Structure 1
């Protein structure tokens, strides 16, 4: 084998590098699985990001320190919105200040304990 054949650049497959990273590979596998579940549940997009930092060792030539970070953007369910009205003082109110209150109507508080219905014989 000649020197030029031995010194040719060869890019090792990234998948091979990643499988050597045990913990990171496992974390990515679990994170992707959880992300797919949340995307299915919410119907919204999400993402998994792997950042690999490569820095040369300060004391030894040809040695590199590799660190990684896995981040996930999990899709969230929409939060419900409520309607409010601005009153004359500029504050928000659940009641429309431009609509007259109907006499005799009142908000009933729900009972502390649910009512238990009995079966008729």
Structure 2
């Protein structure tokens, strides 16, 4: 099979950006959104991603000069790095945050217990207005 030679002069060829902007409704906007999402995700994660623009073209049989287009924009965004959690197994094969084999010390609270205790001990300021401040000279 021989290679098809395009008879259109380069000066007469439609610019691809013009094609995107004028020929296919919303394709340029869709590609812009996907590109912006990709830039944000790759910047935030420090990982690679990709953007794929697919244009399928098929001449409509029997109708001179008509072309059917199907477009698709897909962004493969990098997933953010997820944190890890360490849990302990219980004798009943369940998981929990504290080690069931470790003894607890009386009077020692974990962070969650301490936070709850601090919230309970917060006091409200008196509702009555305090005496105004006066200058000391």
Residue in 2 aligned with 1:19? 18
| Count of residue pairs brought into register by the alignment | 108
Residue in 2 aligned with 1:32? 35
Residue in 2 aligned with 1:54? 57
**Equivalent-residue separation in structure 2 for 1:55 and 1:24 (angstroms):** 18
Matches within 5 A, 1:1-121: 9-10=5-6, 16-22=15-21, 23-57=26-60, 60=63, 63-106=66-109, 107-108=113-114, 109=116, 111=119
**Equivalent-residue separation in structure 2 for 1:51 and 1:85 (angstroms):** 49
- TM-score when normalising by structure 1: 0.66
Higher Rg of the two aligned structures: 2
Displaced runs of 4+ in structure 1, greater than 3 A? Answer: 11-15
- TM-score when normalising by structure 2: 0.60
